[in-house]
Amino acid sequence: MDADVEQLINDIGPRLRALRRQRGMTLSALSAQTGISVSALSRLEAGKRRPTLDLLLPLARVHQVALDQLVGAPATGDPRVHLKPRRNRKGSVVVALTRYPGPVQVFKQVLGPSEPNLVTHAGYEWLYVLAGDLRLILGEQELTLRPGEVAEFETNTPHWFGPSGEQAVEILHLFGPQGEKAHVRARATRPAAR
């Protein structure tokens, strides 16, 4: 086996340990969710057990990351992402921008005119308007968001969003199925002049 591949394999254990700690999980909790024994997980993280697919697949599923992220797979050389838009009967288009299961899914959507139909479900949504005007009904509130404006809300509140008129609206849509929120960082303020 060449040295690069050997190094990739040796780096998996520490990467798994860091990921588990970052998520605040104990070996026992991870064992309960994956069905892998605590001792096998400990040996895997310490580099004393060789990582195999039957160990890595349940770990990727529980951590909600792509297998490539667990193993630190090298880039394929082609950075292009080949997106596949989905169209529905009402003229709307959805493009999934995340290609792996994770705590937050990201979509680019072009929404055509439609009648409001309020829904509720578990999760948290974050909407950013790229073009057009977005009509958002959230419980008893009704808002119009313009390009550059953002809305975020828990999806257990009855909600609907679409174009505010007859023109389509283009948005970025982040959805966290278990209530994960997008983390928005504010710009740093400039230090005061002396």
Residue 36 within a domain: yes
**Averaged confidence pLDDT in the chain:** 84
Domain range for 11: 3-71
Q: What is the CATH number of the domain that holds 112?
A: 2.60.120.10
Assess whether 90 and 160 both reside in one domain. Answer: yes
Whole-number pLDDT of residue 192:
54
pLDDT band at 77 (very low <50, low <70, confident <90, very high): low
pLDDT (tens digit, 9 = 90+) per residue, 47-71?
999 988 889 989 988 887 877 778 8
Average pLDDT for 94-108: 78
Tell me, letter by letter, the H, E, C secondary structure of 124-156: EEEEEEEECCEEEEECCEEEEECCCCEEEEECC
Number of Cβ within a 10 Å radius of residue 152: 13
How many domains in the chain?
Answer: 2
Assess whether 125 and 95 both reside in one domain. Answer: yes
Comparing 31-35, 39-43, 65-69, 97-101, the range with the smallest average pLDDT is 97-101
Whole-number pLDDT of residue 94:
86
pLDDT (tens digit, 9 = 90+) per residue, 109-147?
999 998 999 999 888 899 999 999 999 999 999 999 999
Residue 57, SS3 per DSSP: helix
Average pLDDT for 80-100: 76
**Rounded Cα–Cα distance for residues 34 and 191 (Å):** 49
**Rounded Cα–Cα distance for residues 160 and 152 (Å):** 13
Please indicate, yes or no, whether the overall pTM of this predicted structure exceeds 0.75.
no
Whole-number pLDDT of residue 70:
80
Residue 154 within a domain: yes
Token representation of residue 102? 């994770």
Residue 34, SS3 per DSSP: helix
Q: What is the CATH number of the domain that holds 58?
A: 1.10.260.40
